[in-house]
Chain A
């Protein structure tokens, strides 16, 4: 089984619908991240969490919210999806301290908003 698991892997939805992407990890890391990837734009940080009680906005948090339910679980929600949120979403984890730059990624969740 993968160390970082994302569900669903693919989702097609309609404008205005609420969507939740879930991430769970077995690496025992405190730090978790949500990134979105668009062609030509690389990975952009949406939200990150350094422990269960810590939630921080990233580069592009507007239109998104997150919940850190436990050390191992970090969910991303789109309250009212819009077409420009169509993208590939990655969850990642890292250790703390100096090695926190080494991210371990899930396999990605491809979201299409019609």
Chain B
């Protein structure tokens, strides 16, 4: 079992809808979580991070963390075709020297 798991998708949503991307992790030593976006043929770029239980909002993006359930999610409100990309969840393993471990990524397609 991978330490960070995501549904690979593809996830398809209509323009203007809420896209919900989910991630689970197995190492309770993970203290912070990062969401990266990767457009086709490009390198990943950080869009959000979260380290406290609850929600963190940044524009149309909301990250949610539930440490008891070992669950992280990313909500994208008012989805746009430009949001179509692969979204990578990553756990920061403080107990293992601070390395970042990625999930498989979820491909999101926003249809006009």
Contact = CB atoms under 8 A, between A and B. Distances in A.
Interface of A: 33, 35, 40-45, 48, 50, 56, 58-59, 90, 94, 98, 100-103, 105-108
4 shortest interchain CB distances as A-B pairs: A105-B43, A42-B104, A43-B102, A101-B92
A107 B42 CA distance: 7
Given A48-B99, A105-B43, 16 more contacts: A33-B100, A41-B104, A43-B44, A44-B102, A45-B99, A50-B98, A56-B99, A98-B32, A100-B92, A100-B98, A100-B100, A101-B100, A102-B46, A103-B36, A103-B46, A106-B43
B88 interface: yes
B8 interface: yes
B82 to A, nearest CB: 20
* Residue in B43, B102, B105 with the greatest tally of chain A CB atoms within 10 Å: B43
Contact of B100 (A56, A103, A107): A103
B90 interface: yes
Interface of B: 6, 8, 32, 34, 36, 42-46, 49, 88, 90, 92, 97-105
Contact of B43 (A33, A94, A98, A108): A108
Chain B binding surface, main DSSP class: strand
A102 B49 contact: yes
21 contacts: A33-B99, A40-B8, A42-B105, A43-B44, A43-B90, A43-B105, A45-B102, A50-B98, A59-B101, A90-B43, A90-B44, A94-B100, A98-B32, A100-B92, A100-B98, A101-B32, A101-B92, A102-B34, A102-B49, A106-B43, A108-B43
A45 B105 contact: no
